[in-house]
């Protein structure tokens, strides 16, 4: 039996074992693992979730019996202290000696602690292991009991920002202290870092940049951090997350070659200067670099396993450091070369400070290649951009379309995922290629997505590749002639479009009828809201008719806010409002002490309403001519307008009147996703109509109609659908377009995504809506008119029904108010007390 000893039981050490036991011939080998921590390998990438309630077992990468089932000897709480490479043995702190044929160093790294005077004081921690987190939690509880809430994190990189989130989750006020002039200086440029900073500061996390800490203040325990120029930051706890240093002490002691700045030197086979000793993960110095990401570590583990079993796989010469992650709720990604020099390429930057989005792509000088990029606030395009970059694929004639969306009929995407070469790496965490995924389907090894995941481990790392893996599996299944369905959930073997037709044809009117006839089980939080939406789209049922099946916002006809209060948004069609109605809104806000905010959709939002006050607030508003603005539903929200030619000297037509007519027509219209519209009186576009699901712009000779745009996390420009049409034609085309979308789109699919996936695209949609190629135009017209004619205000239903009002109370057995809701002052108004 060939003996392999693995020193280190972290993520990469575990991955080596997992890769090894999956290979043919592994039964000839005996693996013994030594881990100094008291538990089996766990997921350090999601370590901060430990603060959110996950246990050590939840984070574990294996079951309690996995090692035994795979004939691996696991020794926890045992530290390897010496390597004797001459006689191929190791010694542990228990003074036990073990022999090996091959030794794998997977000792990882330790937290780098800067040489700052006072770091040994009580209340100073590193952020590395579960034991570290336990100590941080205990100390946070202690200082809070003493009335302190201020804590600092030293380091504004990936780990530092994760630590800041953890500190905030413990109920403390975090301060991030960074020596560099920007956050995440290795991954982000100045613009991206500034955007990330503003998003993080919105969460009441204070950022201190360009700060050099001179010493830790306090006698026995920390009371502050002294910066240069005698600037003192008063804090009672410090978490150091300023980088890592390789745990190479074993290699050094054994005489292995190490780098000047640390790390055991390895070749492309992961061999150290001793060919029988391998190093993988953050202890390995490959190409003069330490790679602190999981994906390269996993690839190193696979290469070492292959080499020990006499395989030929070697490490790639160039390791890609592209990464996609979510930091404190903010999406961040970078790929390729994010800091291209001006002489080497041309950066294209999109910045939206209103929505907190920053996108940069770096294009080659000849305009033909994507060299790298940065995404902050919205990383939904990361997979597509990364594949274009890594596979050298062609880019659009207008490269900015890659981050702005297509303008006109030209697509900005790379086309079908099947256009990728088979060598394209889809899952970088597990180094799984497109060929591996598709071939496992086409050769019969796998039949479903679950089979592919089990076989290849794709999507089991960070999960960012899942959408692309799902698409590849579907396309591979289609290539075999299999029917591929996007079913709603496990309770229905039907898509939303099929369920819509089933409900309509069978005239089903409630959930139980549908479940009992064509479904199974009791339904779930996915299918119940979908069915409620379908009933509303067919019968114009209000949310009051299917209360138990709605999500929380539709259930209470208002958006729940972070402290358990609700916001009230009355409809203000086209943004036009009288002075009397403005006064009423002010009086209501004053009476109930509500925070007042004008929204981006030209409405007024009243925040902080308690549940039991909602019917009374609605009555005051309805009595003054208001009605529900449906801000809580997947329905029409607003139709934004400029003042048009009524007031503006540039206006070419009356955009305000048109917007009001449109909003009154489509108000309450339930759909797969929320819908917004806009009407601009001229091409200056003050209403931002081309950023909406439908947009209309006045031009010489009529109106131009645009469809399928949106703002939000993944903004898209609307595309031109019809030119120089009159108002009547606009209404007709919009009726048909909206009804066709409602009939055929999947759950929570926006109009832009629906159009991208619609077979035949824009040209096909024009044939259906304008040319009536399917012969359904008259039906669509009648269905829309039926919805328009049967509209009812949901707020009015509640205030007219004592029975419906019963659900608007905090406690099921009492009419008492919730006295635990707390507010604090903010600019002469109120806001929820920070978490």
What are φ and ψ of residue 22, in 5° steps?
A: -90, -5
As a CATH number, domain 2-109+245-308 is 3.50.50.60
The residues near 288 (Cβ < 8 Å, ≥ 6 apart) are 259
CA 203, CA 737: separation in Å to the nearest integer? 40
Residue limits of CATH 3.50.50.60 in the chain: 2-109+245-308, 124-242
Region 611-638: mean pLDDT is 94
Distance between CA 551 and CA 524 in Å, rounded?
A: 11
Query: What is the rounded CA–CA span in Å between residue 765 and residue 778?
Result: 16
Q: Is the pLDDT of residue 800 over 60?
A: yes
Whether the pLDDT of residue 258 is over 60: the answer is yes
Binning pLDDT at 50, 70 and 90, where does residue 133 land? Answer: very high
What is the average per-residue pLDDT within 304-330? 86
Topology classification of domain 634-790 = Sulfite Reductase Hemoprotein; domain 1 (3.30.413)
* Residue 645 pLDDT: 93
Residue 694: is its pLDDT beyond 90? yes
| Residue-level pLDDT at 30 | 96
Where exactly does CATH 3.30.413.10 map onto the chain? 634-790
* Residue 424: predicted pLDDT: 86
Give the mean model confidence (pLDDT) for residues 407-419: 56
**pLDDT tens-digit series, residues 762-776:** 999 999 999 999 999
| 18 closest CA partner among 28, 33, 3 | 33
pLDDT value at residue 415: 59
Distance (Å, rounded) from C-alpha 603 to C-alpha 574? 9
Averaged over 570-575, what is the pLDDT? 94
Instruction: Tell me the pairing of strands 231-233 and 224-227.
Output: antiparallel
Average pLDDT, the chain: 91
Select the more confidently predicted residue: 678 or 835.
678
Counting other chains too, the contacts that 521-525 makes at CB distance below 8 Å and 24 or more residues apart are 521/490, 521/491, 522/491, 523/491, 523/549, 524/489, 524/490, 524/491, 525/551
Asked whether residue 317 carries a pLDDT value surpassing 90, the answer given is: no
Statement: residue 328 has pLDDT above 80: no
The pLDDT confidence band at residue 634, using thresholds 50, 70 and 90, is very high
pLDDT over threshold 70, residue 414: no
Reply yes or no on whether the pLDDT at 594 is more than 70.
yes
**Residue positions in the annotated binding site?**
642, 648, 682, 686
Q: Which residues are annotated as a binding site for [4Fe-4S] cluster?
A: 642, 648, 682, 686
Q: Record the tokens describing residue 425, joined without a space.
A: 């790496």
Is the pLDDT at 101 greater than 50? The verdict is yes
pTM to 2 decimal places:
0.61
189-239 residue pLDDT tens = 999 999 999 989 988 899 999 999 999 999 999 999 999 888 999 999 999
Q: How crowded is the C-beta side of 42, counted as CA atoms within 13 Å?
A: 22
CB count in 10 Å sphere of residue 389: 22
pLDDT reading at 325 higher than 70: yes
416 pLDDT more than 80: no
> What's the confidence (pLDDT) of residue 342?
64
**Cβ-contact 53, 28 below 8 angstroms:** no
Q: What is the arithmetic mean of pLDDT over 538-560?
A: 87
Side-chain-facing half-sphere of 810: CA atoms under 13 Å: 15
> Residues 798-803: what's their mean pLDDT?
93
Alpha carbon distance 807, 436 (integer Å): 53
Residue 486 vs residue 736, higher pLDDT: 736
| Residues in Cβ contact with 498 at an 8 Å cutoff, skipping those fewer than 6 apart | none
In 337-472, beta strands by DSSP E: 345-352, 357-364, 370-376, 425-427, 432-433
pLDDT value of residue 578: 94
Nearest by Cα to 530 from 742, 341, 795: 742
Question: What's the CATH number for 124-242?
Answer: 3.50.50.60
- Binding-site residue ranges for siroheme: 686
pLDDT at 408: 43
User: If pLDDT is split at 50, 70 and 90, which confidence band does 411 have?
Assistant: very low
**CA-closest candidate to residue 193, choices 202, 204, 181:** 181
Banded model confidence at residue 96, pLDDT cuts 50, 70, 90: very high
DSSP E strand stretches across 483-628: 559-560, 566-568, 595-598, 604-609
> Quick one: what percent of the chain has pLDDT higher than 70?
98
DSSP label of 36: S
């Amino acid at each position: 039996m060939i003996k392999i000893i693995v020193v280190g039981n972290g993520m990469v050490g575990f991955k080596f074992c997992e890769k090894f036991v999956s290979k043919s011939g592994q039964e000839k080998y005996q693996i013994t693992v030594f881990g100094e921590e008291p538990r089996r390998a766990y997921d350090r990438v999601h370590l901060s979730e430990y603060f959110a309630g996950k246990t050590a077992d939840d984070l574990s990468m294996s079951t309690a019996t996995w090692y035994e089932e795979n004939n691996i000897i696991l020794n926890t709480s045992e530290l390897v202290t010496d390597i004797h490479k001459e006689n191929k043995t190791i010694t542990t702190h228990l003074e036990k000696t073990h022999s090996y044929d091959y030794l794998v160093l997977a000792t990882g790294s330790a937290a780098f602690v800067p040489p700052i005077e006072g770091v040994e004081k009580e209340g100073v921690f590193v952020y590395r292991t579960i034991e570290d987190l336990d100590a941080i939690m205990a100390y946070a509880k202690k200082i809070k009991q003493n009335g302190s809430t201020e804590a600092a994190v030293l380091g504004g990189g990936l780990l530092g920002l994760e630590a800041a989130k953890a500190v905030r989750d413990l109920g403390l006020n975090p301060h991030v202290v960074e020596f560099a002039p920007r956050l995440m200086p290795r991954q982000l440029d100045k613009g991206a870092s500034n955007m990330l900073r503003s998003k993080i500061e919105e969460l009441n996390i204070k950022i201190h940049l360009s700060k050099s800490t001179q010493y830790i203040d306090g006698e026995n325990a920390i009371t502050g951090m002294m910066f240069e120029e005698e600037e003192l930051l008063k804090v009672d706890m410090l978490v150091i997350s300023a980088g890592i240093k390789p745990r190479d002490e074993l290699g050094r002691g054994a005489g292995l070659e190490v780098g000047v700045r640390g790390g055991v030197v390895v070749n492309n086979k992961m061999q150290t200067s001793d060919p029988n000793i391998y190093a993988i993960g953050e202890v390995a110095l490959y190409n003069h670099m330490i790679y602190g990401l999981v994906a390269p570590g996993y690839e190193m583990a696979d290469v070492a396993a292959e080499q020990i079993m006499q395989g030929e796989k070697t490490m790639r010469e160039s390791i890609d450091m592209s990464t996609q992650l979510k930091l404190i709720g903010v999406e961040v990604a970078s790929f390729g070369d994010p800091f291209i020099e001006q002489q080497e390429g041309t950066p294209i930057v999109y910045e939206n400070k209103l929505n907190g989005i920053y996108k940069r792509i770096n294009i080659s000088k000849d305009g033909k290649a994507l060299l790298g990029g940065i995404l902050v606030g919205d990383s939904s395009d990361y997979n597509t951009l990364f594949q274009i970059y890594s596979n050298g694929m062609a880019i659009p004639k207008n490269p900015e379309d890659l981050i702005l969306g297509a303008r006109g009929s030209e697509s900005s995407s790379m086309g079908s995922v099947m256009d990728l070469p088979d060598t394209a790496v889809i899952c970088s965490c597990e180094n799984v290629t497109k060929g591996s995924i598709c071939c496992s389907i086409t050769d019969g090894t796998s039949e479903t997505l679950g089979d592919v995941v089990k076989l290849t481990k794709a999507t089991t790392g960070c999960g960012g590749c899942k959408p692309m893996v799902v698409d590849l599996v579907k396309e591979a299944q289609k290539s075999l002639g299999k029917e591929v369905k996007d079913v709603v959930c496990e309770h229905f073997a039907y898509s939303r479009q099929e369920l819509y037709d089933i409900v309509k044809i069978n005239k089903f009117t409630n959930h139980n009828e549908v479940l009992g006839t064509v479904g199974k089980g009791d339904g779930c939080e996915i299918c119940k809201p979908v069915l409620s939406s379908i009933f509303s789209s067919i019968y114009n049922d209000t949310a009051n008719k299917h209360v138990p099946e709605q999500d929380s916002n539709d259930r209470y006809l208002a958006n729940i806010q972070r402290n358990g209060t609700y916001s009230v948004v009355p409809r203000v069609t086209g943004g036009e409002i009288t002075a009397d109605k403005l006064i009423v809104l002010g009086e209501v806000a004053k009476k109930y002490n509500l925070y007042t905010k004008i929204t981006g959709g030209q409405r007024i939002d009243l925040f902080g309403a308690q549940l039991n006050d909602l019917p009374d607030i609605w009555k005051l508003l309805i009595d003054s001519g208001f009605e529900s603005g449906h801000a809580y539903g997947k329905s029409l929200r607003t139709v934004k307008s400029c003042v048009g030619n009524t007031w503006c000297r540039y206006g070419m037509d009356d955009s305000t009147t048109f917007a009001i007519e449109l909003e009154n027509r489509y108000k309450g219209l339930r759909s797969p996703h929320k819908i917004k519209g806009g009407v601009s009186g001229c091409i200056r576009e003050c209403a931002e109509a081309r950023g909406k699901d439908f947009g209309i712009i006045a031009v010489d000779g009529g109106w131009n109609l645009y469809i399928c745009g949106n703002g939000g996390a993944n903004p898209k420009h609307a595309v031109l659908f019809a030119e120089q049409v009159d108002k009547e034609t606009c209404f007709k085309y919009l009726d048909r377009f909206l009804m066709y979308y409602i009939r055929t789109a999947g759950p929570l699919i926006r109009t832009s995504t629906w159009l991208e996936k619609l077979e035949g695209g824009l040209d096909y949609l024009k044939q259906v809506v304008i040319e009536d190629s399917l012969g359904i135009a008259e039906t669509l017209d009648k269905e829309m008119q039926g919805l328009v004619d049967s509209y009812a205000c949901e707020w009015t239903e509640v205030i007219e029904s004592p029975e419906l009002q019963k659900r608007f109370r905090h406690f099921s057995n009492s009419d008492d108010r919730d006295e635990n809701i707390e507010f604090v002052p903010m600019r002469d108004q109120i806001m929820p007390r920070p978490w």
